[in-house]
Structure 1
Amino acid sequence: MSILDLPVDILLLIFPHLDATSFLHLTSTCKALHSADFLNDAAFWSTLVRTTFRVPNQPTAQHDGKRWQKLYKRLLTQSRIYTWGDNDKACLGHSYDASGSMARLGPPRARRVNALRRRHISWPAEMDSTEDLGVISDVQCGGWSTTMLTAKGTLYTVGVLDGLQFDQRRPPFMQTPARQPTALKYPPGFVQLHERNDASTAIQQFSTGRAHVLGLADSGRIWSWQNIELAALHVMFLNHDTKEDGTTAGRGTVHKVVAGWNKSAALIEGTGIVLWDPLQRGHDDAAIEDAVLVLESAAVPNTGYRRLKGKARYTDSTGPDIADTVGQVGNFILLEHVLLFSTDTGKVFAAQIFWDDHEQRVGDLVKIPISESETGAFATDVQGSFRSFAIFTRDGTVLTSNQDRLMDLLRDHQAPDNLFTRIPALQHHGVISVAFGDYHFHALHSSGHITSYGNEPQACGALGLGGHGDPEGRLRGIRYQGMGRDGRLVPHAYTEGRRVWFEEEKRDWIKFLTAGGVDAEEASQRMRMALGTPDVRCQGEVSEWIEQQGRDWEAKFGLQGEEDDELGAYFALSVTAAGWHSGALVLVNEELAAKVQAACEVRESSGATTAESEDDAQDAPAEDANSSLVAYAVSTALDYGRWFLGLAPYNVAAPAPHSAPHNNTAGAGSTRVGEQIHVPRNYGDSPREGYKYVWAKDSFPRLRLSSGEEMPGEVGFDEWRFARPEFDLDAGSPEPYVVSRCRETTRFCNLPFDRRSWLFANMATKRIAPAKSNRVRMNYETKAGDPFVTDE
């Protein structure tokens, strides 16, 4: 008998016992084994990646063997951590000098603006000091932190775990931020992972909550941290048994830990999902305990069933029919007050958490209706945090919702009409995971790109689309409103999504366009139409045109498919978000990235002498400043008026020009142009001296809009790289725009948090007067630039 005579099932049982080299040698022995069915066996490659690099399982992509094989090749050398958003308490891991460079930044107001921009990171930037950590396999954001897991099982954290916990030892009496990745500690007597690998301290899976971190060791032990400076606590239960012998099956085995907003949870075989309060360790030197016995915990009913080869391994106490009515728990999440979990029967269940001094329990399970027909949808996963969540189905549908909508179902057992939102950009687009922050969220797609949705408080950069309230963000589709400069995506962005860019040359390209392209004067009317008017339609379509150009970036320069793995220069393996910041684990093909960068550059022609070039560099800004000073001053004044009304200006807070040689003064004793007025000359057209970008002679885009209107200008119309989408401006936005007219009322208690905040702010300025009961009377006609207002 030859090996080919064996049944296929036997071969598939042999594969998991092989390493990558042996597997490839075996499949190369003959044509029959070298077929795609064997070579790209999903079970083998996904298991190999997850066991070798501790990469978490991705249920919606677990059957894509070709993808897992490519990831295995690139994880060895190409994993990078990128973070963006609000860098409060150094949670992004980016080094910035808060005092050393302040003296050189100009007057106090300019210093405040620059300090804010350093704290707000709107483009993804690589985390500092990660080169020596080895292969990074997972990253998760907490409320004030970002935590990474390496392939060796070590956890590293930046920022602070609990930004509200007081520390009475030294000022400022709060947890001290870790500005560089710091390894989480274990109690004395336990093996620290920098010494050697040990099953009791090597973490196989972890979860970051708002203010604490849970880790599951290879041995099955649960560890809990709430302070980077303090050692972990070993979690033990008074009422539940756990097994710590390193086996992956059997009663008491811990399969998963989840750190929620204000609770901890673990899935224990034979018991089910168990909840408890996060543990706290004090700074007292005498507190050297290494374990804490959890006295108050709650087990979720009907979650202890496990299935083995079609038969029940354990039967829940509620009865043998649990296999069909509920099934085996697959994944589960903890929101602020609700627990959700999916099962292998394709169902999703939710239960409200009741936790106070008098009771600690979980309410009755309620099945979430994900389809109008009982057999119409099969749920494969549930993901979420804080107050938002998403449900994935087998047919590629992604349903998003929030805790407030779910409460109606849990209390009344009747689903509201608006329980789910179907964002078009997430439907059947290969979405693997969705990561939620407080007001924004990201979607990771199987092609390795990340899309952004939601709001961006105070232009903090949480969407990762550029900006700080500047034109770059508006050209990507962000609307900035009010004194706080809160950003919100235009409705058009929910049709195809807005991708997060990791390529630096793309950022120069978008800066070049926001500066007006090759001829800012010719493009001025189009720029005003797209970036400075209350009507979102032009901005939405121009930003979509920009999105299509950036989406096909490598193919645009003839480099698509040049590499064997076809993953591109930047391939996102995971995405995470919390609070006002985000992060991603990205596989970076530096060789391909360098080729793309080089393809964007051309050498400048040397027609003039060096002396003439220097004279031109000195004279050109002065001429521009003198000729356009009055025009820009007038337009800036108009924009400040628009900004004061809550509309989106163009020239206010414009960024400093990209290249230093273009910032020369207009003359002796005159004011530097770049500090006062945005002069878009040679801005973003050159990567370095002697070179130009290939787009240096391009104009600001001129489009024929879907309404039939033509953007003004003297240049030709630009064509769409792909077909122009059919925009559904009502289906995409998670919270629909609200139309409010003079003397009309709206129920205040039914508004979401961000609307209530906006109403409170406007009540303070007497723009909205409170009425009786829980209603708010709109005593003026709202402007189209105000949040939550449509054009109707």
Structure 2
Amino acid sequence: MSILDLPVDILVLIFPHLDASSFLNLTSTCKALHDPNFVNDSTYWSNNVRDTFRVPNQPQAQHDGKRWQKLYKRLRTQSRLYTWGNNEKACLGHSLNHNGPRSAGMRAAGRHRNHISWPGEMQGTDSLGVISDVQCGGWSTSLLTARGAVYAVGVLDGEQYNQRRPPYMQQAILQPTALRYPPGYAQAAERHDPSTAIKQFSAGRSHVLGLSDSGRIWSWQNVEHAALQVRFIHHDTKEDGSLSGRGSVHKVIAGWDKSAALIEGIGIVLWDPLKRGHDETEIEDAALVLESAVVPNTDYWQRRSNQSSRSSEVGSSLSESVGEVRSVVLLEHIVLFNTHLGKVYVSEIFWTDSEQRLGNPFELAVSNNDNEPEPAEVFVNDVQGSFRSFAVFLQDGTVLTSDQDRIMVLLQGRRTETPLFSRIPALQHKNVISVAFGDYHFHALHAPGYITSYGREPQACGALGLGGHGDPEGRLRGIRYQGMGGDGRLVPHAYSEGRRIWFEEEKRDWIKFLTAGGVNPAEAAERMRMALGSPDIHCQGEVSEWVEQQGRDWEDKFGLRSAEDDGLNAFFALSVTAAGWHSGALVLVNEELARKVQAVCEVRDPTLPERPEEEESSQRDSVAEDTTRTPPTYLATATSALSDWSRWFLGLPPYNTATSSTQPPSPSNMTPQQFRAHIRQRNDERNARTEQIHVPRNYGDSPREGYKYVWANDHFPRLVLSSGIEMPGEVGFDEWRWTRPGFDLEAGV
């Protein structure tokens, strides 16, 4: 008998016992085994990625074996962590920068910038190895490595008093710092031990929960304090590393002010987060949870064969009708969960000094079409959310969003005209894998590896990640800034197709070039006022959508796709997270492709005389030195300084930033290390509020001396709006890269 004589079911059982190399060798032995159904087996590759790199499961993409295989190949060397938004208490892990233009007499003391509007790479992660997961807390950002160690920046609990020293608050952690364990335990950052290596973690508003390989639950509430092991007085949990059996912990969930765990045979258990007192020693390694509550009828487990432990036959039938719990969302006052039967339930939290309980699960009526007189039967794949907002994922690709207030109205039996769910057009049937919610903003991760943003960013904090901080760049992406605090809210047009987050440096230069007026600012002045300065949102909405289309599929736009590529973009988002006023994303960066994209965007400046590369290289420094020595005219300097100071007082960054006198080599000739250093330097120069004043120039048209971007001769877009109005100007009308979408300005906002 040959291996091909074995039933397919037997082969599938063999695959999990093979490593990636052996699996690929086996499937390459003959044509029959090289079938895509075998090579791209979703169960094998998803389990392999999760077991090897501790990447959390993504139910919406668990059957896409080809995607999981690509992730396995790229995760080992390409995972990068990006953060953006409000940088209060250094929760983004970014480097120190200056805050604005300064005169010669001002003290040059750097400090953390409060707002970061473009994604920036977290500093200090290069030595941590493969990053598997990232989650934002109220004042922190935490990450999990493939070794099972959890690191954090910022402050876990921004309201927790620390009586050891003034000002009696937890100190901000500037660099990723490993969360510790009590003395005598193996530190996960140093060596592997099943009791401390974390396989899944969850960041709440003010605490972090971790589930170890052995099944032990750990809780942190201060980066400077060792963890506490969670033990229950009313429930027994298994810590033998098994994945099944009564008492096995399958998931931990850190919420707004509660902790939760999904325990097989018991259900969803809630308790108050554990806290170390200032007078407690770290020798105390565990805390006993005296007060906990279980969501009723969540103890059913399909794999459990012993039914004798059921409290009653009535309880058994109720639990079976609810189904086996798959995903759990812990909001401020309610618990949401979906089950293997395709249903979604809600349970209200009742928690006072005299009572700790959870209401009976209430099934939410879900439909994939609000216009149907009778809701058709649908299957719920997943439920995700945090704080007060959540999303329900249907099997057919529909994504429904809602919030806690609407649920409470339903639970209390009050009548309302507001529908339970919203249907944002940009999320429907668009391969959405996950949705991450902050206080007022949220992001959607799509299977092709891009992230879209929605909602608003208080005080122009940059939480949407679309650039701006009140600048024209943000307005051109579709953000409208209002009120004294400059709150930014997306135009309704942005909910039709979404606004994607850009990680490419050259895209930021491109949009800066457009907001400077393009090649002819005078000719574009009236169009810019119409698109960026008018109280009417329609022109801004349509121009921002045109910009959005031009910025998509950057590699395809410049013809850089080839048969050898794996189909993933240079920046492929693996996960996204949000909390409070900030966000983060785990991104796989193909630096070779990123260098190619940046290089193809640069061309020799045609206004300069041609000269050999050797002569150009030797003359570059001397030209830069001469330029530095030549002082600008008094009038130009005064005009430039006045412009910068005016923008600074308005809360806008200066137009004029320092440029390096020594130019780097072309991106296509850089090593990966040089390229990353080059990108970081450009980030620092762009984000920093430098004190040097330079003669104004057309920003975004040139990456470096002697070169121009390919868009250096483009003009500010001129469109025929959907209303028939023609934008003014002397240039021709611009065409849409794809068809102009039909804007539904009422849907999903």
Do Structure 1 and Structure 2 share a fold, with TM-score over 0.5?
yes
| Residue pair 2:456, 2:490 contacting (<8 A) in 1 also | yes
Offset of 1:286 from its aligned partner?
Answer: 3.8
Give, as a single letter, the amino acid of the residue that structure 2 aligns with 1:725: P
What runs of 5+ residues in structure 2 fail to find an aligned partner?
Answer: 612-618, 662-689
TM-score (norm 2): 0.88
Matches within 5 A, 1:177-326: 177-284=172-279, 286=281, 288-308=283-303, 317=312, 318-322=314-318, 325-326=321-322
| 1:385-400 alignment, distance < 5 Å | 385-400=386-401
C-alpha separation between the residues in 2 aligned to 1:95 and 1:516? Answer: 31
Aligned AA for 2:36?
A
The alignment of Structure 1 onto Structure 2 pairs a total of residues equal to 704
Distance 2:695 2:475 in 1: 18
CA deviation after TM superposition for structure 1 residue 376, in Å: 2.7
Q: Is the 8 Å Cα contact of residues 46 and 62 (structure 1) preserved in structure 2?
A: yes
1:302/1:316 contact within 8 Å kept = no
Quote the residue 2:473 is aligned against: 472
Q: Structure 1 CA distance, aligned partners of 2:407 and 2:20?
A: 45
* 1:332 equivalent among 328, 333, 348: 328
Q: Give the conservation status (yes or no) of the 8 Å contact 1:470–1:655.
A: no
Residue 315 and residue 488 in structure 1: after superposition, are their counterparts in 2 closer, same or farther (change >3 A)? same
CA contact (8 A) 1:304 1:314 kept: no
Could you tell me which runs of 5 or more consecutive residues in structure 1 were left unpaired when the two chains were aligned: 644-650, 663-673, 734-792
**SS of structure 1 residue aligned to 2:569:** coil
| Structure 1 contact 162–175 (Cα < 8 Å) conserved | yes
Partner of 2:57: 57
Measured after TM superposition, the shift of residue 617 of structure 1 is 10
For residues 530 and 379 of structure 1, do their structure 2 counterparts lie closer, same or farther at Cα, with a shift above 3 Å needed?
A: same
The CA RMSD over aligned residues, in Å, is: 3.1
1:68 maps to 68
Report the equivalent of 2:501: 500
Corresponding position of 1:459: 460
* Counterparts of 1:524 and 1:308, CA distance in 2: 68
Structure 2 residue 103 is the aligned partner of structure 1 residue 106? yes
Are residues 315 and 699 of structure 1, via their aligned partners in 2, closer, same or farther at CA, if it must alter by over 3 Å?
Answer: farther
Q: 1:628–1:282: structure 2 CA closer, same or farther, 3 Å change rule? A: closer
> Secondary structure of the residue that 2:133 maps to in structure 1?
strand
Q: Which of 727, 730, 737 matches 2:743? A: 727
In the TM superposition, residue 49 of structure 1 has moved relative to its aligned partner by: 0.3
SS in 2 for 1:192: coil
Q: Are the counterparts in 2 of residues 305 and 312 from structure 1 also a CA contact under 8 Å?
A: no
CA 1:301/1:550 → structure 2, altered by over 3 Å: closer, same or farther?
same
Matched residues in 1 for 2:651 and 2:255: separation?
A: 40
Match of 2:412, SS state, is: helix
* Cα shift readout 1:407-433 (whole Å, capped 9, x = no counterpart): 011111878642111000000000000
Q: d(CA) in 2 for partners of 1:307 and 1:69?
A: 29
TM-score by length of 1: 0.84
* Change over 3 Å in CA distance of 1:108–1:683 after alignment to 2: same
Q: Which protein, 1 or 2, shows the higher relative CO under an 8 Å CA cutoff with sep ≥ 6?
A: 2
Return the letter of the residue paired with 1:586: V
Could you tell me how far 1:115 is from its partner in structure 2? 6.6
Separation in structure 1 between the aligned mates of residue 355 and residue 10 of structure 2, nearest angstrom? 52
In structure 2, the residue matched to 1:580 is 581
Q: Distance between the aligned counterparts of 1:18 and 1:413, measured in 2?
A: 56
Q: Report the CA distance between 1:504 and its aligned residue.
A: 0.5
> Aligned residue for 2:361?
365
Partner of 1:544: 545
Say whether the 8 Å CA contact 1:518–1:696 is kept in structure 2. yes
One-letter amino acid of the structure 1 residue matched with residue 347 of structure 2: A
> Distance between the aligned counterparts of 1:620 and 1:718, measured in 2?
40
Separation (CA, whole Å) in 1 of partners of 2:189 and 2:250: 25
1:310 and 1:512, CA in 2 relative to 1: closer, same or farther beyond 3 A? farther
- Tell me if structure 1 keeps the 8 A contact 2:101–2:692: no
What's the CA shift string for 1:372-407, capped at 9, x where partnerless? 645431100000000000000000000000000110
Equivalent-residue separation in structure 2 for 1:26 and 1:286 (angstroms):
54
Deviation at 1:311, TM superposition (A): 10
Distance 1:550 1:620 in 2: 38
TM-fit CA distance, 1:324: 5.2
CA distance in 2 between partners of 1:327 and 1:86 (Å): 40
Q: Please tell me whether the aligned partners of residues 656 and 693 of structure 2 are also in contact (alpha carbons under 8 angstroms).
A: no
2:116 aligns with 121
SS in 1 for 2:302: strand
Q: CA deviation at 1:613?
A: 10
List per-residue Cα deviations over 1:127-177 (Å, max 9, x = no partner).
001011011100000000100000010000001100001112112211011
Distance 1:607 1:616, change over 3 A: farther
CA spacing shift, 1:166–1:612, aligned 2, 3 Å: closer
8 Å contact 1:224–1:279 — kept in the other structure?
Answer: yes
Quickly say closer, same or farther: Cα 1:703–1:658, change in 2 above 3 A. farther
Q: In the alignment, is the contact (CA less than 8 A) between 2:254 and 2:260 conserved in 1?
A: yes
Per-residue displacement from partner, 1:462-491 (whole Å, max 9, x unpaired)? 000001101000000000012101100000
- What is the aligned partner in structure 1 of residue 23 from structure 2? 23
- State the one-letter code of the partner of 1:717: F
| Correspondence 1:508-657 to 2 at 5 A | 508-561=509-562, 563-605=564-606, 606-607=608-609, 653=652, 655-657=654-656
Corresponding residue of 1:693: 709
Q: Within 2, Cα distance between the matches of 1:6 and 1:413?
A: 60
- Cα offset, 1:195, TM superposition: 3.5
Tell me the amino acid that sits aligned with residue 436 of structure 1. Answer: F
The answer to whether the 8 Å contact 1:161/1:228 transfers is yes
Change (3 A) 1:314 1:454: farther
1:705 alignment counterpart: 721
Helix, strand or coil at the partner of 1:321: helix
The alpha carbon displacement at 1:653 in A equals 3.1
Q: Which residue of 2 aligns with 1:745?
A: none
**Which position in structure 2 is the counterpart of 1:409?**
410
In structure 1, C-alpha distance between the alignment counterparts of 2:210 and 2:111, rounded to whole Å: 35
In the aligned structure 2, how far is the partner of 1:307 from the partner of 1:184?
Answer: 35
1:85 is displaced (CA, Å) by 0.5
**Structure 1 residue 314, shift from structure 2 partner:** 7.4
Percent identity over paired residues:
68
Q: What is the CA-CA distance between 1:227 and the residue it aligns to?
A: 0.3
Contact 1:408 1:416 in 2 (8 A): no
Report the residue type matching 1:607 in the other structure. P
User: Structure 1 residues 625, 725: closer, same or farther in 2, change over 3 A?
Assistant: farther
CA contact (8 A) 1:85 1:463 kept: yes
Flag the 1:103–1:341 CA change in 2: closer, same or farther, 3 A. Answer: closer
Aligned to 2:88: 88
User: Hey, what's the Cα distance between the residues in 1 that align with 2:188 and 2:124?
Assistant: 18
Deviation at residue 201 of structure 1 after TM alignment:
0.3
SS of residue in 2 equivalent to 1:433: strand
Q: Give how far 1:552 is off.
A: 2.3
Contact (CA 8 Å) 1:455, 1:463: kept in 2 or not?
yes
Deviations 1:276-304 (Å, cap 9, x if unpaired)?
A: 00000123254521111100000111101
Q: Secondary structure of the equivalent of 2:229? A: strand
Structure-1 residue corresponding to 2:730: 714
* Structure 1 pair 546–408 and aligned structure 2 pair: CA distance change class (3 A): same
Amino acid in structure 1 at the alignment position of 2:452: T
Q: CA deviation at 1:692?
A: 0.9
Partner residue in 1 for 2:441:
440
Q: CA deviation at 1:189?
A: 1.2
Alpha-carbon distance in structure 1 between the residues aligned to 2:274 and 2:135: 20
